[in-house]
Amino acid sequence: MTDIASHRGGALLWPENSRISFEQTAKLPVEQVEFDVHPTRDGRLVVIHDDTLDRTTDGSGPVSARRWDELNRLVLKGTGGQRMLLLDEVIDIFRHTGIVLRIEIKAGPDRVPYPAGHAAGVVAALKHAGVLDRSVITSFQLGTVVEAVAESRPMRHVWLVLPQVQVDVGIDGVIAAAKAQKVPMLGLRTNMLDAGNVAAVRAAGLGIGGWACNDAAGIAKLFDLGVDVFTTDRPDLALARRNALRSGA
Ligand code: MG
């Protein structure tokens, strides 16, 4: 049965990438929790989605332009005063659970990847925390995934494929690029997934996941397609659907 990943800690249920969202997700019978990491100016790894602070905190400007002691003073919107978390703090929330950490390595401003070595640094941090064997690394930047795969093979790290990329090169082009780079798994947007491209990806020996799966129709579709895993802002809906399927409803 398809695995469920609580996206940004369940972003339509709780403030995304916050302690609240992760502590609530930790109570759910989901297989994975998804969150996003950026580097600080002084080399720490922080959990936040955007490359800038404006949307989700009371700060502004690029995340990577600030030191951790500056970021640590900012408040996450909608949390009643909580601050953003370091990667190690999120790891600690899930350490006592069996939930897989699904870490998205984000690019910097204008989608420019952070300097080479950043992905390797994330892998090293996971290794140091003793959780590399229960972690999955994802990125929209193929080079970032390749760096992670090279550092920690044979983990099932994931290339997240933008719809524009999939349209431009076709599913066969996407598969060829992943195979050439030894990337073992693809993540396609929910509206870009169908039985034909799931079959093509599987025939190539790659894993297949879905992202942006946030309503009942999309969730039902991805269970029907039998993808390996999908990320959802509504883990409650996904769990309800899976329970119904398991009970034969
Ligand atoms: Mg993400």
140 CA → ligand 1 middle, Å: 9
4-247: CATH topology:
TIM Barrel (3.20.20)
The predicted model gives 125-140 an average pLDDT of 97
The predicted model gives 141-158 an average pLDDT of 90
Q: For all residues of the chain together, what is the average pLDDT?
A: 97
195 CA → ligand 1 middle, Å: 24
Q: Which residue has the higher pLDDT, 116 or 167?
A: 167
Q: Which of 108, 100, 110 is nearest to 155 (CA)?
A: 100
Question: Any residues with CB less than 8 A from the CB of 202 and at least 6 apart, and which?
Answer: 208
Q: Are β-strands 158-161 and 229-232 bridged in parallel, bridged antiparallel, or unpaired?
A: unpaired
pLDDT at residue number 154: 73
pLDDT at residue number 155: 80
SS3 102: strand
209 CA → ligand 1 middle, Å: 13
89 CA → ligand 1 middle, Å: 17
CB 245 within 8 A of CB 223: yes
248 CA → ligand 1 middle, Å: 32
Q: Is the peptide bond before 154 cis (omega within 30 degrees of 0)?
A: yes
10 CA → ligand 1 middle, Å: 11
pLDDT at residue number 248: 87
State how far the Cα of 199 lies from the Cα of 181, in Å rounded to an integer.
Answer: 20
Residue 143 has pLDDT above 80, yes or no: yes
Q: What is the pTM assigned to this prediction?
A: 0.97
Phi and psi angles of residue 121, each rounded to the nearest 5 degrees, phi first: -65, -35
249 CA → ligand 1 middle, Å: 32
Q: What percent of the chain has pLDDT over 90?
A: 96
Which helix (H) or strand (E) segment holds residue 5: the answer is strand 3-7
Sign (positive or negative) of CA dihedral 235, 233, 130, 185: positive
How many other C-beta atoms are found inside a 10 Å radius of the C-beta of residue 54? Answer: 12
160 CA → ligand 1 middle, Å: 9
pLDDT at residue number 64: 98
59 CA → ligand 1 middle, Å: 20
pLDDT tens sequence across 198-239: 999 999 999 999 999 999 999 999 999 999 999 999 999 999
243 CA → ligand 1 middle, Å: 25
